[in-house]
Amino acid sequence: MSGARPTSRSRVGEWSLALAVVVATAVASTWPLATSPWLVPAHQDPLFSVWRLYTWARSLAGQTPGLFDANIFYPATGVQLLSDPILLPAAVTAPFLWAGLPPVIAYSLVFWASTIASGLAMYACARAISNSRWGALVAAAMFTGAPARLEHVFHLESLWTPFLPLAVLATVRAFEGRPRAPLALCAAMVGQIMGGIYFGVFLFTLWPILAGVEWLRRRGAVPRRTVVRTLAGVAVAALIVAIYAAPFARARRLVGDRGEVEVTRYSASLASYATSPAANRVWGWTDTGLPETRLFPGLLGTGLAAGALTAPAAPWVAALVVTTAVAVDASRGVNGWTYPWLRLLSPYRGLRVPARFGMLALMGLALLAAVGTAQVLRVLSAPGVAAVVAVAILAGIVAESAAVVPVRRMPREAPPVYAWLSTLPPTVIAHLPMPRAARLPGPEADFLYFAQYHRHALLNGYSGFYPPDYLLLIERASAFPDDRALVALRNAGARYLVVHEAFYPSPEAFAAVVDGLERRGDVTGVLTSTDEGGTVRVYRLR
């Protein structure tokens, strides 16, 4: 008994240090988001994610007509199938939302929980592979705060990555013969795809390479029972995912596959791994302005990952090198060799951002950096010198992660126009201006976000895919408030029009729209309000 206490105390200390490093890196790499839960990255996707969280909470509570129905793209049904469902984060936050937690606070909880959990999961995985605490800390800091991760600070589902390293860790444990590891692998694969479809699909794609190369390195000397159990775990996960994905596959048949233009736009290049989002303090000067294709993993971490090549015969190093190389090539999309073949498979025809393979490349590089760090510290035989070098490396990784993220502070109460709308009986609303098809999504995410205060049906919407009827509607409403636009809006079911000065190109353009509405005999002005962006006018369609 006396020997167990120091071990327990040591593990608590080890994990406390890992938590401190991950939290410090997360705060530094997303500053100033940590200063207030009412701050979100200044982008439309966080507003959309808030809407998804509270809408899924309503659906899970039976407050929508169907599980996949929502209050956008009226009168379309099943609209939650048109985007990444983030079902697992939604299920986690649903009880808090049912208890009255503001949706934006629930979003902040998921944001921080997923970021910190990803770092800690990476620490556990890197610790097992490198057998080095310092190496694991370096990997955790790199995976948490690499400049490339800034590319996804707006996308909640792309921050949900703890199951990626946990799947690798479960694979390592499975190869060690641990009987429960295949079950953990199954859970990790399912958990990843239920948190974000992209990385779940990518994980299923790359896992056979990771496991296969390690099996070959061992010359197939893995017990047959271990192989059977592991493959059975993956097969069960695939079956669960197939059942989960079935309704989404049916919805995709309605909206079709991703076009070649979209996939080409979001295909990375090798040069992408040398560019960082502008928000990074150290490497922001390399920004190319091409969204989703700035994949720089950090200079110090990449150098350490290269150091892992000095021990290619070590367990999992060769597997990580090959898997990471395939991930890098797949992120190149139409510019590479791998992705054109993947596009022949059904799941990939619905994905538009091959560059997101960069997250799995970052995971591989972080794990290799852990091995590289262990190699460096092994050369420095003096413990004191090794500790100083390790701290310096870790400080450098954290410093490279420092960023200033553009943010938006969300109001704590409903703006006046949305408070007034909440007093109406259930109705259908059209927010104006609607975006042009070539400039989607426009301000649509704002309208979704603030619908939490009134819960009415909207003709507006924002999603990964857009229903054909919505695209036709915004085309017909492009010259609003002409007769064609009003007929289209009325036929679509709109009963109220909410016209926002803030989203018109100029006060004069807004004034011209208001003047046109005031001259019509088929609409009635019912409210004039203001918000932080300007005047808001509400009209009722007769």
Tell me the per-residue pLDDT of 448-501, one tens digit each, with 9 for 90 and over: 999 999 999 999 999 988 998 999 999 999 999 999 999 999 999 999 999 999
Which token pair is 331?
């992120």
What is the distance between the alpha carbons of residues 68 and 79, in angstroms, rounded to a whole number?
6
Q: Which residue has the tokens 């400049």?
A: 147
Instruction: State the pLDDT at residue 2.
Output: 35
> What DSSP character marks residue 522?
S
Side chain identity, residue 508: E
In whole angstroms, give the CA distance from residue 45 to residue 51.
10
> Is 142 strand, coil or helix?
helix
Q: How far is 539 from 421, CA to CA, in rounded Å?
A: 12
Question: Is 25:145 a contact under the CB 8 Å cutoff?
Answer: yes
Kindly give the parts of the chain with pLDDT less than 70: 1-7, 255, 311-312, 381, 383
The pLDDT assigned to 168 comes to 98
Query: Alpha helices, DSSP H only, in 31-102?
Result: 44-60, 87-98
Question: What is the number of other CB atoms lying within 10 angstroms of the CB of residue 200?
Answer: 28
Taking 3-state DSSP, the helix, strand and coil percentages for the chain, each rounded to the nearest 5, stand at 65, 5, 30
Q: Phi-psi bin for 534: left (phi > 0), alpha (psi -120 to 50), beta?
A: left
Rounded distance, CA 478 to CA 473, Å?
Answer: 9
Tokens 């507006």 belong to residue:
460
**pLDDT tens digit string along 327-386?**
999 999 999 999 999 999 888 988 989 999 999 999 999 999 999 999 999 887 676 788
pLDDT, residue 44, reads 94
Three-state DSSP class for residue 540? strand
34 burial type by CB count under 10 A (0-12 exposed, 13-18 middle, 19+ buried): middle
Whole-angstrom distance, CA of residue 363 vs CA of residue 245? 25
Contact 397, 140 (CB under 8 A): no
The closest alpha carbon to 435, from 469, 468, 465, 480, belongs to: 480
Judge contact between 433 and 480, C-beta under 8 A: yes
pLDDT at 312: 67
Total length of the chain: 542
Give the pLDDT of residue 255: 67
Confidence (pTM): 0.93
Residue 69: predicted pLDDT: 92
Q: Which amino acid belongs to residue 11?
A: R
What is the model's pLDDT at position 9? 76
DSSP string, 407-431: EEEPPSS--HHHHHHTTSPS-EEEE
397 vs 443: CA distance, rounded Å? 37
